[in-house]
A and B are shown apart, each in its own frame.
Chain A
């Protein structure tokens, strides 16, 4: 089954404690992206990647890092989480490198709370 798998589903952490949210897709997509969703602000893109070792900033990249060492995986790293990074996070992938001509496949989401 074609899917984007995110882990964990829920995560509670404390300020400053490094964490990684994993994302993996089994569709051989080259394009992958991270979004955060906040009430009243909608979905905002954090980072995206169009190929292995190619990553680029989205609209809200501050405080986040990503890596793309393999095509299937695109982890999101918070080196020093802060309470304003409390949010619902989504990983997505697409067959289309611009992510506009084909649909995006989304993971189930990671609800992060930073205390």
Chain B
């Protein structure tokens, strides 16, 4: 079964607005990662946040992690058309030695 679930499944916003995507997971984790996938292409790593971290930034990306709620959020500020993609969270599933991906949020940035 999947460890992480993204919400919403799809999000459509205007260019320049901020986009927030959420990820919830079921069991304790060591790390949580976010990836981006342009249509039909390979996933690209965005950010890794460790369980002892609460927030992390990378350029226009801000990731938060709330281990008490078993949830994470990805914020993209000042969105651009090029941010149109699917975004996936991935966690170490049940402490096992593998990364388990959610089904993703499909983000569309309208010009």
Contacts and interface: CB of A to CB of B under 8 A. Distances in A.
B5 to A, nearest CB: 10
Given A99-B98, A107-B42, A42 B104 contact: yes
A20 to B, nearest CB: 19
B43 interface: yes
B102 A42 contact: yes
B98 A90 contact: no
B33 interface: yes
B58 to A, nearest CB: 12
Interface string A8-45: 00000000000000000000000001010000111101
A16 B74 CA distance: 43
A76 to B, nearest CB: 15
A29 B63 CA distance: 27
Contacts of B97: 97-100
Given A43-B88, A106-B43, A100 B30 contact: yes
A45 B45 contact: no
Interface residues of B, number: 22
Given A42-B103, A97-B97, A106 B44 contact: yes
B92 A104 contact: no
B99 interface: yes
A69 interface: no
A103 B48 CA distance: 7
Contact of B99 (A40, A88, A97, A100): A100
A58 interface: yes
A42 B2 contact: yes
Contacts of B104: 42
Given A42-B2, A42-B102, A104-B33, 11 more contacts: A42-B88, A42-B103, A43-B43, A48-B98, A98-B98, A103-B33, A104-B43, A104-B99, A106-B42, A108-B42, A109-B42
Interface of B: 2, 30-31, 33, 35, 40-45, 48, 88, 90, 92, 97-99, 101-104
10 contacts: A43-B43, A97-B97, A98-B92, A99-B97, A100-B99, A101-B31, A103-B33, A104-B43, A106-B44, A108-B41
